[in-house]
Amino acid sequence: KGGQVIDGSSGLFCTPAGHGRKEIADAVHQALLNNDYVAPFGLGHPASFALAQKVANILPEDFNHVFFTNSGSESIDTALKICMAYHRAKGEGQRTRFVSRERAYHGVNIGGVSLSGMVRNRETFSGVMPNVVTMRHTWTEECRFTRGQPEHGAEMADDLQRMVETYGGSTIAACFVEPVAGSTGVLLPPKGYLERLREICTANGILLVFDEVITGFGRLGSPFAAQAFGVTPDIITMAKALTNGCQPMGAVAVTDDIYDTVINGAPTGIELFHGYTYSGHPAACAAGLATQQIYEDENLFERVAEMSDYFLDGMWSLKDIDIVTDIRGMGLLAGIDLAADGPAGARGGRVQQKLFWNGMHVKFTGDCGIVAPQFIADKSHIDEMVEKLRKTFTEDMAA
């Protein structure tokens, strides 16, 4: 009570510019005074166009169109509908099958849950979208304590090729992947894996969708993971760091080809039967514009690249602790697996609570702690995080 807690996971990976940014609060306040709401159907306002352009400026080439949502979960469901609209506009409405991966997390709306490869979601909510098939996740025992992308495992992308051969490529609408599977514990793609997915998708007319809700806006040291890995998808979903967590907002970016195909498919009607009451809300757009300006003015994406080695050195220094069974990481993002102690997740839940009382917040999934410092963190902050992690892990091991 009354003590300070260092934020080791940027809230829920959404506050990379730090907490209490007055620039963002002032921008939201002014937006609400000037223009508190504009209906998104048939109307628009300048801030939404300005933010869309800001985002497009840092996206891969040919991504010039952005659709605003209110969360990462809504972004995934929006992407699903865009995929279906695109194929129908091309006269390929039979493409209704979607591919995702084991251990995938794509939000909590029904489309994202259907794509999810996490066991609890499957047990509780499976069957609503029956045409979803899953590939293997990319973690293997040989990858333990690999820093950056594993050298081996690209062949697992051929799971998608087997699905093409099993179901027919002409039935598959899209393949959804997190470039880095963040929520399950920071599973990095093996070298060549994303490239192989891109190759298979292109050869079979399948859309490749990158869920960049966690990795978008600098987490790996580039604006998006697509640039960090040098692989360009057809659709990118985003949220979280878009507004530094200060307003609920997500977005879906599409290539010019997708935009043109959907728009030209309905020359006299509604192009996309989709939208939300609060899409592109003026307050959210103001927060987004202020956030993007902070990233730009303070060179925060470049700062991630500069701080990455120091951060990862700190994470890997914990390797000697007996209960640490694996560490994975890239940029300012790392997953630390702890040995199970009783039911799955028991130790993780216990350590998360102990960490908090020791003055540090870290998001845990099961027995994996996901460390994602804010981009403004300096070396002293990283040192403090490492010290608190070591202290808490050691205390739990001795208990």
Assign 185 a pLDDT band (cuts: 50, 70, 90): very high
State the pLDDT at residue 96: 97
Q: Is the pLDDT of residue 238 over 70?
A: yes
**C-beta of residue 249 within 8 angstroms of C-beta of residue 47:** no
As a whole number of angstroms, the distance between CA 309 and CA 147 comes to: 10
Instruction: Measure CA of the first residue to CA of the last residue in the chain; give whole Å.
Output: 24
As a whole number of angstroms, the distance between CA 148 and CA 134 comes to: 24
State the pLDDT at residue 270: 74
CATH superfamily of 6-17+299-398: Aspartate Aminotransferase, domain 1 (3.90.1150.10)
As a whole number of angstroms, the distance between CA 107 and CA 189 comes to: 20
As a whole number of angstroms, the distance between CA 334 and CA 377 comes to: 15
For tokens 């009382």, the residue is 357
Which residue type does 225 have?
A
The upper half-sphere exposure of residue 88, i.e. CA atoms within 13 Å in the direction of its Cβ, equals 13
pLDDT one-digit tens code per residue, 303-312: 999 999 999 9
State the pLDDT at residue 128: 80
The residue extents of the domains of the chain are: 6-17+299-398, 22-297
Please count the other Cβ atoms lying within 10 Å of the Cβ belonging to residue 343: 10
CATH architecture for segment(s) 22-297: 3-Layer(aba) Sandwich (3.40)
Backbone angles phi, psi at 86, to 5 degrees: -60, -50
Q: Looking at 27-31, 34-38, 129-133, which range is the least confident one?
A: 129-133
Helix (H) or strand (E) holding 22: helix 22-34
Quick one: average pLDDT of 239-262?
Answer: 98
The number of angstroms, rounded, from the C-alpha of 59 to the middle of its chain's C-alpha atoms is 15
- Percent over 70 (pLDDT), the chain: 100
The number of angstroms, rounded, from the C-alpha of 160 to the middle of its chain's C-alpha atoms is 21
State the pLDDT at residue 3: 84
Please count the other Cβ atoms lying within 10 Å of the Cβ belonging to residue 333: 28
Quick one: average pLDDT of 182-189?
Answer: 97
Backbone angles phi, psi at 324, to 5 degrees: -85, 115
As a whole number of angstroms, the distance between CA 79 and CA 66 comes to: 11
Give all strands of the β-sheet with 250-255 in edge-to-edge order: 63-69, 250-255, 235-238, 207-211, 172-177, 97-101, 132-135
State the pLDDT at residue 8: 99
As a whole number of angstroms, the distance between CA 15 and CA 57 comes to: 21
As a whole number of angstroms, the distance between CA 201 and CA 2 comes to: 53
State the pLDDT at residue 123: 79
Quick one: average pLDDT of 272-285?
Answer: 96
As a whole number of angstroms, the distance between CA 214 and CA 232 comes to: 17
Q: Is the pLDDT of residue 126 over 80?
A: no
For tokens 């050691």, the residue is 394
Quick one: average pLDDT of 101-112?
Answer: 94
Q: Is the pLDDT of residue 355 over 90?
A: yes
Which residue type does 224 have?
F
State the pLDDT at residue 361: 98
Mean confidence (pLDDT) of the chain = 96
Assign 1 a pLDDT band (cuts: 50, 70, 90): low
Q: Is the pLDDT of residue 121 over 80?
A: no
Quick one: average pLDDT of 23-41?
Answer: 97
Structure tokens that stand for 376 in this block: 């403004």
Please count the other Cβ atoms lying within 10 Å of the Cβ belonging to residue 352: 17
pLDDT one-digit tens code per residue, 58-75: 999 999 999 999 999 999
**C-beta of residue 361 within 8 angstroms of C-beta of residue 374:** no
